């Protein structure tokens, strides 16, 4: 009997119990709720739905088969458009005004008002790029056509077992040594014969040497720099009339000293004060 009373009164499992003050907020406060005997403790602050509540979205039955699924199922609401990603959408092409103008001229309509009325009663759409090139791109593929990338030929295992690649490398090295010895013998014979020093130089086969043609191709004729522009009346008359240096040698020494002294002075021209030492 007592168990039935406890189950009927929800405040029996609170901290105050039935004798204390009962408020609706006590049933949602985890600090005031007490666990029931033989039942797990409820966690959460909102009331659970009813016992027969079904979670999820309702499954709407659709009529049709695989063909309807591939072409886009019609929506349940006839006024609504389908939202399937594979539904076919009609592409609206632009109007072909060149064809309309040509047809209007052939019909004898040349004014703006006549063209406007003709376009209102006639409609010609431009062809898409896919429709124009469909016939030109289609071609017959032979039945023996194989698509994909060709398989790389397998490594000859017999050559690996017989060390054929090693022998090939050794033969190439021996051939290089023989050619090198032949060049050395030729240079020695030319040295004994007393040829010029240019023939005594050893040539490296891996080096590209310059020829006379290549040098002449890259040679540029020296061009004297044009003098600075000056007014014609000052070329002969406006000359330096004051010479502060005793001689040309003293003048060069003064400029050299000025250039060396620019390093330790401030300013772009080196006329400022001396700078402090920098670490």
**In terms of residues, how long is the chain?**
279
Compute the mean pLDDT over every residue in the chain, rounded to the nearest whole number: 78
Beta carbons within 8 Å of 104's beta carbon, 6+ residues apart: 110, 114, 115, 118, 119
- Chain segment 54-107, per-residue pLDDT in tens: 888 887 766 667 776 676 666 655 555 554 544 555 677 889 999 999 999 999
Q: Is the pLDDT of residue 154 over 50?
A: yes
Q: Determine the Cα–Cα distance for residues 57 and 48; give it in Å rounded to an integer.
A: 18
Contact 21, 42 (CB under 8 A): no
Query: Is the torsion defined by CA of 210, 213, 216, 217 positive or negative?
Result: negative
- Chain segment 209-223, per-residue pLDDT in tens: 888 888 888 888 888
Structure tokens at 147: 């698509």
Structure tokens at 253: 């020494």
> Which residues, listed in sequence order, are joined to residue 125 by a DSSP beta bridge?
95
Determine which of 17-31, 83-97, 249-263, 264-278 has the lowest per-residue pLDDT on average.
83-97
Q: What is the model's pLDDT at position 56? A: 85
Backbone angles phi, psi at 265, to 5 degrees: -110, 155
> In the structure, what pLDDT confidence band is assigned to residue 118 with cuts at 50, 70 and 90?
very high
Q: What is the model's pLDDT at position 76? A: 58
- Shortest CA distance to 122 belongs to which of 131, 109, 138? 109
- Chain segment 171-212, per-residue pLDDT in tens: 999 999 999 888 888 877 766 655 555 544 566 667 778 888
């Amino acid at each position: 009997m007592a168990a039935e009373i406890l189950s009927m009164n929800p405040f029996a499992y609170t901290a105050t119990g039935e004798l204390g003050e009962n408020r609706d907020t006590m049933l949602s406060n985890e600090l005031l709720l007490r666990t029931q005997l033989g039942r797990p403790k409820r966690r959460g602050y909102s009331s659970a739905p009813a016992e027969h509540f079904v979670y999820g979205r309702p499954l709407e039955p659709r009529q049709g088969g695989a063909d309807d699924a591939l072409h886009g199922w019609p929506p349940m609401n006839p006024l609504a458009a389908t939202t399937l990603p594979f539904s076919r959408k009609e592409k609206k092409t632009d109007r072909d005004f060149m064809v309309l103008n040509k047809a209007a001229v052939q019909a004898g309509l040349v004014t703006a008002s006549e063209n406007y009325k003709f376009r209102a009663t006639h409609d010609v759409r431009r062809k898409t790029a896919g429709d124009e090139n469909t016939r030109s791109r289609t071609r017959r593929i032979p039945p023996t056509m194989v698509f994909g990338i060709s398989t790389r030929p397998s490594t000859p295992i017999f050559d690996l077992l017989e060390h054929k690649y090693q022998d090939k490398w050794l033969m190439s090295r021996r051939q290089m040594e023989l050619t090198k010895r032949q060049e050395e013998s030729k240079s020695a014979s030319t040295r004994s014969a007393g040829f010029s020093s240019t023939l005594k130089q050893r040539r490296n086969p891996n080096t590209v040497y310059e020829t006379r043609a290549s040098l002449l191709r890259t040679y540029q004729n020296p061009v004297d720099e044009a003098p600075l522009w000056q007014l014609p009346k000052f070329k002969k008359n406006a000359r330096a009339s004051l010479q502060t240096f005793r001689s040309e040698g003293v003048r060069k020494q003064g400029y050299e000293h000025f250039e060396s002294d620019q390093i330790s002075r401030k300013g772009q021209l080196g006329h400022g004060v001396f700078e402090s030492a920098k670490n």
